[in-house]
Amino acid sequence: MAASHGAGTLKSTSINGVKLYSLTGNRYVAPWVLAKKKRALRKDKEYQRRLDLIHDLRFETATTKIKLTPDDEYVIASGIYPPQVKVYELKELSMKFERHMVSEIVNFQILGDDYSKLAFLCADRSVNLHAKYGSHYSLRIPRMGRDMAYDCWSCDLLCAASSPDIYRINLEQGRFLASLSSQSPGINAVTRSKIHGLVACGGEDGAVECFDMRKKSSVAELIFQLFLLKIIIRRSHLCNLMKIKDTFWQ
């Protein structure tokens, strides 16, 4: 059945005299529908084009980072103010839990397949490691952190900061290892390729430098003469520079 709402129509269904309204106006499939019927809906174009709303996906001031877990079951988002991290379960389209932080989250990394192991780089130079039960351990890096990446092959947490060094925290050994030294005066972005394992960093001077984690040394450097804010490594090519800023846009 349908209920009129202003100039448009808001779809609703009635179960035992209780009306359920679909806010998206798309086809709704109840969670108790059989899995066999859900598989049949994969060929339904209307069902595939549906939009689902995640409840309570908001922060008081702004959302800073949103990431999807490797198992595609959870969305993890950080935001301000106050500094928080929230985990949402896509199967339920609702928030699973939220945690408050002492300082603003600069970036975070998902260390496992789900939300059970997380690492947060915060604005107060702290790196916070979280488990399912909450905060597990906290430590500080020497300089202000700007970005963070995780090398799953070596269990190294890589922290870029306002210095030429990329700080390495080995999570298996539980200690700092020798830093990766770049040619740039400061590192704005760091990322790791899932294809070949190379680590790329973008510096203040517009240079992109790549490191081989087997040798722990630089293997190549490219100069772009741009202010690099983020690096994305893709299959089609080594580095695709996004969110760049030069004098043309100023």
CATH number, domain containing residue 212: 2.130.10.10
Q: Model pTM?
A: 0.69
Does 103 share its domain with 194?
no
Per-residue burial over 155-192, b if 16 or more Cβ lie within 10 Å, else e, is ebbbbbbebbbbbbbebeeeeeeebbebebebbbbbbb
Does 164 share its domain with 247?
yes
Does 239 share its domain with 153?
yes
Does 153 share its domain with 249?
yes
What's the pLDDT at 240?
44
Does 242 share its domain with 212?
yes
Q: What is the pLDDT along the chain (250 residues), one digit of tens a residue?
A: 333 334 445 566 677 777 766 655 455 555 555 556 666 666 777 766 666 777 777 888 888 888 989 888 898 998 888 889 999 888 877 888 889 988 888 999 999 888 889 999 998 899 999 998 888 989 998 888 888 989 888 888 989 888 888 898 898 888 888 888 888 888 888 888 887 778 888 888 778 888 887 877 777 667 665 544 454 444 434 444 433 333 333 2
Does 151 share its domain with 215?
yes
Does 179 share its domain with 206?
yes
Does 59 share its domain with 97?
yes
Does 85 share its domain with 98?
yes
The closest alpha carbon to 234, from 177, 196, 185, 186, belongs to 196
Does 100 share its domain with 14?
no
How far apart are the C-alpha atoms of 52 and 67, rounded to whole Å? 17
Domain span holding position 127: 54-140
What's the pLDDT at 42?
67
Tally of domains in the chain: 3
How far apart are the C-alpha atoms of 68 and 75, rounded to whole Å? 5
What's the pLDDT at 109?
92
